[in-house]
Structures are given as C-alpha cells and as structure tokens.
Structure 1
Amino acid sequence: MTARPGTSPGRSRTHARAIERRSAWAFVTPALFLLMLFLGVPALLALGLSFTNARLISPNAPEFTGLENYVRAFTSDPVFLRSLLNTFYFAAVVVPVQAGLGLALALLVNQRIRGVNIFRTVFFLPVVTSMVVVSILWTFMYQEDGLINSMLSRMTGGLVEGTAWLQQPSTAMPAIIILSVWQGVGFHMVIWLAGLQTIPAELYEAATVDGAGAWQRFRNVTWPGLRPTLVFVLVTITIAAFGLFVQIDVMTRGGPLDSTTTIIFHAVRKGFREQEVGYGAALSLIFFVLVLIVSLIQRRLTRENT
C-alpha cells in the first residue's frame, strides 16, 4: 500500500491497521451479540437461580438460599449421586470404545479400493439420523420379543433366552452404551479420516523403504501424526458422553431403579417436571464445572504425551 502525499509511511500503516480493526469488530459484533444473548445471559440467569428456591409455577417470590441447593445435591439427594456415577460409567466406557472403533473404521475406509465411498456413507449414516428416531427404533429392538433377542435365539439354536434389556438394571445402561457408540462412531471416523489424510505420503514411503512393517508404520508414522486429532476426538466424545440425555429420556426415563439416570436428565426432571427451577439450575452448573474440569485435565494429559 502506497502512502498518500504528505503522509509518512508509519502513519499510513497505523491508519490501515485501524481500518482493519474496525472491520474485524464489525464482522465479529453480531456473532458476539448472539452468543451473549443465547449463551451468556442464560448462564448468568442460571447462576442467579441456583442460589434461590425458585419454582417454575409458584405464587411465592423466590428467596435467596445461598449454597443450600449445592449442599442438598451432595448430601441429601441420593438420585444425584447415582446419576453422577452413571454418567462417569457411561463416559468411561464410551470414550475409549468410540474413539478406538472410529480410528479402526477410519483406517479401513482410508484404503484406496473401489467402492470405498459407499462404506464411508454407510458408516456415517447413523450420525445424520435423529437420535430420537434411533432411540425409538432401538427400543423396539431391545424388547423381549424384539429383533436382538430373535437373532440371539437363532444364532444359538434357542439356547439363549430373550430378556427385556431396558427393564433390567444390569443391562439397561450397557444397552444404551451400545446404541450410543453405534450412532456416534461415524462422526469420529470422519475426524480420524481427516487427520489421516494430513499425514504426508512421503513418510510412509520412507518407512517402507526402511523395511518397516504395517504395525511399525502405524506406530512410528500414523500415530504421531494423529496426536493433534486425538485431543479433539477425546474432548468432543467426553463432552457428548457427559451430556447424555435423549437416549435416557426416550428409552428408559432414568429407570429401572435410577440405573440409567444421568446428571442432565436429573437436572431437567427437577427443573421442569418437578418445577424446582433453582435446584435444577444448581445441578446444571455442577454439570458445567464437572465437564470443564474433566476436559481440561484430559487436554493437559494428552498434550503432555505429544
């Protein structure tokens, strides 16, 4: 950019930077406004409500109760403690299984073979299907006379008798875990696949020339190149796993015997169905802090290993 007559080059550059800053703020301001309106304001309102005894429909005005809702959650609400354990159990299983299976599928569909795009589409189809629809279909499949029990009976010659998978405390959560992994693995397959395609082919060629086998190429070339992708995959799966709600709401309603109740489901049930808005807001904030802490720890650990 040439300076105008009578102006120094330094002043011209300063003026150009000022114009760029104003342009940047002009583009960013609408997004910031919407972010504050639909995220910041509700978060502040939830924070304020969590210190009150507000109810959804009540003739009495909300009263400030301090930390009473938070103390209640950890001392006198056994369902919350059970939901906390259920949420950690679900995340502890889903995160490694879904990440590992997604990587395996990505390695499979990354091959240069005819018709590979068909397999990519088939593996990704559950992701674009509504979770509500998927949950309803799998509910029918999990019934005592459903498709899964019929297949088990045929495969074992009638030796395995069917069970109502969603009506037994010991099988309800594993059944939901299988559904969740099946529905979400395609998305992370695509993320892994994108990471695989950023690794230079020259590295594989050099490893092959050096006599490296398939496992050595994966260990020394593929896996180091995928470590930035690993951080993203683990954080996104963890956040989604802790936010488990739709499957529970559609399939089990938290039962049987609260064996599938999660933090989000319990917060929604308390805040809207039982109309304890203040207590529900406190549970939501506990969930937010919990996810934030786990994500930061996870990110720190994965960064230390890179």
Structure 2
Amino acid sequence: MSAPAIIGLIAFVAVPFITAIVLSLYNVQADMAREPRFWGFTHYIRLFTDPILSGTFLRSLLNNLVFALVVIPVQTGLALVLAVLLNRKLRGMKFFRTFFFMPVVFPMALVAVIWRLILERGDDGLLNASVSVITGGLVPAHDWLGSSATALGSVILLSIWQGVGFQMVILLAALQEIPEERYEAARLDRANGWQQFRHITIPGIRNTLIFVTLLTTILAFRVYDQVYILIRTAGANEEATQTLLYTGTKAIFSENNLGRASAISVVLFVIIVIITLVQRGLLRQRSEG
C-alpha cells in the first residue's frame, strides 16, 4: 500500500537530490560540449571564499534568514489569531473564512502583480497615493521595491498576506477538534478568556502548531516566485531581495553554471534540515496526556 508513495519519494526527491550532489562536484554547464570535469568541493569553497561569489551568496543567505526570522513567528501568530477569531459560531463566519483564505488559491504571479500595483514607485502606486492622502502630501512618494531599506520588507509583507490563510485553515481545523466540554468546565471554574486560551487552546493544538511552524520554516527558505517576479517585472532591488533559490536559478539560466547551482541547492537543503531538526528538538511533540 505504501509502494506508490515510496516510489514517488525516490523518483522525485531522492534521485534529484543525489543528482544535485553529484553535479555540485563537477564543473558542468548545460550546453558544454566537452565532458564535465571533476572539481570536488571547489564550488562549495568558492561560495564562501571567492570575493565576488561569496558576497552574492552570503547576501542571499542573510536575506533568507531575515525573511524566515520575520515570517515564521509573524505569519504563524497571525494565523493563530485569525483561526481563534473565526472559530466562533457567528453569522457570516463562512464568508470571512473564505475571504481570508482567498489569497492562498491565487497564483503567485497574480499576487505579485497586485502588490506591484500597490507598491509601485511614484504617485501611481496605491500605497504612495494612500500615504499622500492621509498626510496631505507632506510625505513624498517612496520607491518601496527599489529602496534597499524597504524592498525585503515589501516581499515579507506580500508573503505573509498570501500565505497566512493556509496556516489559518490548518489551525482552525485543529481548534474545532477540541471538545467544547473543556471550555465549559473552565468557565465553571471561573477561568477568563486568556486562561482558557493558555491552558486549553494552546495544549489542544500544540502538535498542529508545531507542524505549521515546521512547514512555514521550510516554505520561508524556499521563497522564490515573488522575488523573481518582483525583480524582473517591478524593478525590485535585486541585492536586497535575492534569496538562495533565486541565486541558484540565476546561476543556471543567466550564468549557465549547473555545478554552482547544484552546490547552492545542496547547501540550502542542509540548512533546512538542520533548522528543522533543531526545531523538532526544541518543540518536541508530545501527546496531551
């Protein structure tokens, strides 16, 4: 019964990853006529020591870390707040649940286009126009995507808006599995709302919350679509917004260096595995009992 899943994991996860490891050890280009040459760990060494390559790689790594450090707690916390608010039995809750989940089903290309209109430079951008109206024109228009100070923050805001609905639905399903009798007993013991949230809600969805955190971590380090679209079509600051996946993809399509791109992918995979293992150790799952 598990054979189809195992075959799929081997074919689409294990084989590509092993291939990436092998390619990272060679000097190989997509259109190279001669046989690839074995370079060993040269690609990995150059990523951290070459004056030009290491600068781009380390900046991409830093951008990824900043993105993850902001997105993981903010998006997870916001999803939890929305899930708690939408778990109430009030009129119109189905509409609000659908409303908050809608950005998840939008293609990232469409989401990036929408936020491009919002963050566009000059008075044509919706955000600049709104700021101008609120301040009476006292605050000049700002290039949100072009400025190194706000470019990454703009991508973070876009990503949180687009992804929070998915986490919200997962947490909402977990909240609905908590027996109502526990809250009734807590109210009889005169527990206030915060005490109920702390001692019933959080323990009741603990394992789901851990799963959502781990999933958000993986997705945060795999951020690519919105970065690529905003850089290529909206003039976003490339240095301030580039991520490891973007740098690896650029190494293939712009520099035709398949070996370096594979090395970047392997480094990214190792980073994700280490962070996931550390999180699992710190947030060890346990049963409610």
- State the TM-score bracket (shorter-chain normalisation): over 0.9
Contact 1:51/1:64 (<8 A) preserved: yes
Shift of 1:39: 2.2
Give the CA RMSD over aligned residues. 1.6
Q: Which residue of 2 aligns with 1:21?
A: none
**Counterpart selection for 1:58 from 23, 32, 42:** 32
Secondary structure of the equivalent of 1:289? helix
Answer yes or no: is 1:297 the counterpart of 2:278.
yes
TM-score by length of 1: 0.88
Distance in 2 between the 1:298 and 1:305 partners?
14
Structure of larger gyration radius = 1
Q: Which residue of 2 aligns with 1:41?
A: 15
Shift of 1:273: 2.2
- After TM superposition, the structure 1 = structure 2 runs for residues 170-189 of structure 1, keeping only pairs within 5 Å, are 170-189=149-168
Could you tell me the percent identity over the aligned residues?
44
- After TM superposition, the structure 1 = structure 2 runs for residues 232-251 of structure 1, keeping only pairs within 5 Å, are 232-251=211-230
Could you give the per-residue CA deviations for residues 232-264 of structure 1, whole angstroms, max 9, x where no partner exists? 010011101100100110002595251111011
Structure 2 regions of 5+ residues with no counterpart? none
Distance in 2 between the 1:257 and 1:119 partners?
36
Q: Which residue of 2 aligns with 1:137?
A: 114
**Counterpart selection for 1:97 from 50, 71, 74:** 74
Structure 1 runs of 4+ aligned residues shifted over 6 Å read: none
Q: Which residue of 2 aligns with 1:126?
A: 103
Secondary structure of the equivalent of 1:167? coil
- After TM superposition, the structure 1 = structure 2 runs for residues 61-72 of structure 1, keeping only pairs within 5 Å, are 61-72=35-46
| Structure 1 residue identity aligned to 2:58 | L
Distance in 2 between the 1:95 and 1:131 partners?
19
Shift of 1:118: 0.3
Could you give the per-residue CA deviations for residues 128-177 of structure 1, whole angstroms, max 9, x where no partner exists? 00011101121121112211111111122222222111110111000011
Structure 1 regions of 5+ residues with no counterpart? 1-26
TM-score by length of 2: 0.93
Distance in 1 between the 2:249 and 2:147 partners?
23
Answer yes or no: is 1:195 the counterpart of 2:174.
yes
Distance in 1 between the 2:8 and 2:243 partners?
30
Contact 2:210/2:285 (<8 A) preserved: no
Shift of 1:35: 2.8
Q: Which residue of 1 aligns with 2:250?
A: 269
Number of matched pairs: 280
- After TM superposition, the structure 1 = structure 2 runs for residues 150-169 of structure 1, keeping only pairs within 5 Å, are 150-169=129-148
